[in-house]
Structure 1
Amino acid sequence: MGTFLSSLGKGGPRPPPQMVGFFMGALYNQFVEKDITNFEAFHIAILDIFNTFNAALPGKHVDIPSQRKVEECFRQWKEANKDTKKKKVFVNFMTENVTVSKLDDSTVIIGVLTPPVAMAAKKAGENVPQLMLIKNIPDVIFVPAATVLALISVKLSGRILNKSIVPPERKI
C-alpha cells in the first residue's frame, strides 16, 4: 500500500515518473473500458475504482470523494475533447482525491479500553446467579466479541449523532 500512496504523492519518497504513469495508465484503462455516456455511469466507474482500491489494499482504506467533486470532474472530463486531455483530467482527479481514511479518537480509545473492561465484566458476571452461563464462554471468544460489539456500537452511534453535523459536501 505504501508504494501506491507514495506514487500518488501522499507521503514517503516520490517514485519514478514511470511508476506513476504505469499506475495511472492502468487505472485509466480500467476506467475507459466502461461505457460512460452520462453522470451515473461516470460515478459508477469512479466508485468501482475506489472499491477496487479498498478490496485490494489490506488494512487502511481510501475515502471516496464527495459527489460534488465527482460531478465537477465529470463536467471537466466531458468538456475535454481529446483522449489525452480526458486522461489528464482523470489523473488530476485521482491524485487530488485519493486520501487514506483515518480512525477517529473514539474508535482508538474504545479499541484499547474494551478488552480489560470486558475481562472485568466477565469476572464480575460469574458471581451473579442469573449470569452463571457466562462461565461457560471462553475468554478467547468473549473478549474479542465484546470488543467488536463495542466498536460497532461506537461507529453506529457516531454516524447517528454526527449525521446533522456532516459538512454538506459529504452528505450522501
Structure 2
Amino acid sequence: MGAAIGILGKFGLPGVQAMSTDKIFEKYFDKVKTFEEFHEAFLECLNYINNAMPGFHYTLPPYKEIKKEYDSKWNSVVEKERQERQESLIKLLNRYMSQTADNSTIMMAGIIAPPAAVILKRAGQNIPQVNKLRLHLVPDWLFVPVCTIIAITGAKGFQSKPKNTT
C-alpha cells in the first residue's frame, strides 16, 4: 500500500516517478461514496495530472467508461481491493493517454538558432540583399534572443495541429 516511488511509474507513465498513487488516491478517492463523487474526483485527478506532467495529456474517457469503472471496482467498500482499484484506474488512464507534440524539434530550434543568427548577422554584411536590412545596427544581445524566440515559435507553430471543429 505504501508505494513510495509510485505505481504510476511502474505502469509506464513517464514523469510521475515521484508522484505516489497512494497520495493521489488519498487526496481524490478516499472519501468517495457515490458515483457523482467518483466522477468529480476523477475529473479533478485528470486535471491535476495534466497540469503536473508536461508532454503528456490525458483525454477524458466517455461517461459510460467512467460509470463502468465505478460499478466494477469502486462500488464496494472493501479496503482489500484498494490495490486492484488503483491498478484498474491506471489502466483506464493508460487507454486515454496521448503524447503531445515531440519537443525535440523545439529543442533543436533553440540550439541551432543562436549560432545561425550570429552567422546571418556576420555574413549579411557581405551580401548586398541582406545588408539592406542594416543588421549591423542591431546589437548582438538583442538580435540573437529575438531570432531564437522567432525560431522556437516557428517550430512550435509547425508542430501544432489544427483542432477538429466537428
Q: What's the TM-score once normalised by structure 1's chain length? A: 0.56
Give the corresponding residue for 2:23.
Answer: 26
Give the greater-gyration-radius structure (CA).
Answer: 2
Asked if 1:81 is matched to 2:42, the reply is no
Number of residue equivalences: 148
Check 1:51–1:94 CA distance in 2 against 1; reply closer, same or farther (3 A cut).
Answer: same
Higher fraction of helix = 1
Q: Distance in 2 between matches of 1:25 and 1:74?
A: 20
Deviations 1:110-154 (A, max 9, x none): 2332222211222345676654475343x2343233222211111
Q: Give, as a single letter, the amino acid of the residue that structure 2 aligns with 1:66.
A: T
Give the corresponding residue for 1:90.
Answer: 89
Correspondence list, 1:16-165, <5 A: 23-32=20-29, 37=36, 41=40, 44-54=43-53, 61-68=54-61, 71=63, 74-79=66-71, 80-83=74-77, 84=82, 86-93=85-92, 103-125=102-124, 131-132=133-134, 135-137=137-139, 139-160=140-161, 163=162
Q: Any unmatched runs of 5+ in structure 2?
A: none
Deviations 1:79-109 (A, max 9, x none): 1312536444334445777787673553344
Q: What's the TM-score once normalised by structure 2's chain length? A: 0.57
Q: Distance in 2 between matches of 1:140 and 1:4?
A: 44
Q: What is the Cα-based RMSD across aligned positions, in Å?
A: 4.6
Q: Give, as a single letter, the amino acid of the residue that structure 2 aligns with 1:110.
A: A
The SS at the match of 1:29 is: helix
Q: Give, as a single letter, the amino acid of the residue that structure 1 aligns with 2:66.
A: F
Q: Any unmatched runs of 5+ in structure 1?
A: 55-60
Q: Give, as a single letter, the amino acid of the residue that structure 2 aligns with 1:155.
A: K
**% identity of equivalent residues:** 15
